[in-house]
A and B are shown apart, each in its own frame.
Chain A
Amino acid sequence: DAGVTQSPTHLIKTRGQQVTLRCSPKSGHDTVSWYQQALGQGPQFIFQYYEEEERQRGNFPDRFSGHQFPNYSSELNVNALLLGDSALYLCASSKGPGSPLHFGNGTRLTVT
């Protein structure tokens, strides 16, 4: 039974570019949440997707957007990258919005 899978594992981008990160939830899960973990800090909530809609959003600018597909997989898009966007991006899935989260291993994004 595959857990939460994220791709790519590592990514290097230049300031101003755009990036798309992908997440496949654990089998049986229908809800996907995204978190940003900067170096030396705890994860910060970006948003949550359920039934293909953004259900809840954290304190992140509109440059951060997402999508959930009918198969429950999800994408995180970041436009106009800044150096400060360098972080580990974690995807977590759950069986419903209020259920325990299962985290993937993350995508390490470096912006130069």
Chain B
Amino acid sequence: AQSVTQLDSQVPVFEEAPVELRCNYSSSVSVYLFWYVQYPNQGLQLLLKYLSGSTLVESINGFEAEFNKSQTSFHLRKPSVHISDTAEYFCAVSPLTTNDYKLSFGAGTTVTVRA
């Protein structure tokens, strides 16, 4: 079984400041890792994912996340946020196991960007 812990439930941040959202996971098998974003009254959108290869993954809108296997972490960062980044962010894992495709999500981190 897998579990995901997002260490911050709410993160207030000023516009153009950096932000880091912390995510730790627990699993008895290797996993794929994901970050999803949820804007108000909408479903989840995939922000970025780690499947294999380079441990640093980037999204098209300036977010990046680094997989750290020894610390079982997948923290999300952005060097300069915009008002439009205000949303809820979810870290999720999926096991590298045949016939097991479910995503296990953390409880989410609400990011509020202020001018």
* B45 pairs with A41, CB closer than 8 A: no
Q: How far is the CB of B66 from chain A (nearest CB, A)?
A: 20
Binding site for B on A (CB under 8 A): 4, 33, 35, 40-45, 48, 55-56, 58, 90, 92, 97-98, 100-106
* B107 pairs with A41, CB closer than 8 A: yes
Binding site for A on B (CB under 8 A): 4, 36, 41-46, 49, 90, 92, 99-108
* A48 pairs with B102, CB closer than 8 A: yes
Tell me the complex Cα distance, A105–B43, Å.
4
Q: A42-B108, A56-B99 are in contact. Are A103 and B4 (CB under 8 A)?
A: no
Q: A55-B99, A56-B102 are in contact. Are A103 and B45 (CB under 8 A)?
A: yes
Closest A residue to B90 by CB, please name it.
Answer: A42
Since A103-B36, A105-B42 are in contact, a sample of 5 more A-B pairs with Cβ atoms closer than 8 Å, ordered by chain A residue number, is A33-B101, A35-B103, A56-B101, A104-B43, A106-B43
Tell me the complex Cα distance, A101–B106, Å.
17
* B43 pairs with A4, CB closer than 8 A: yes
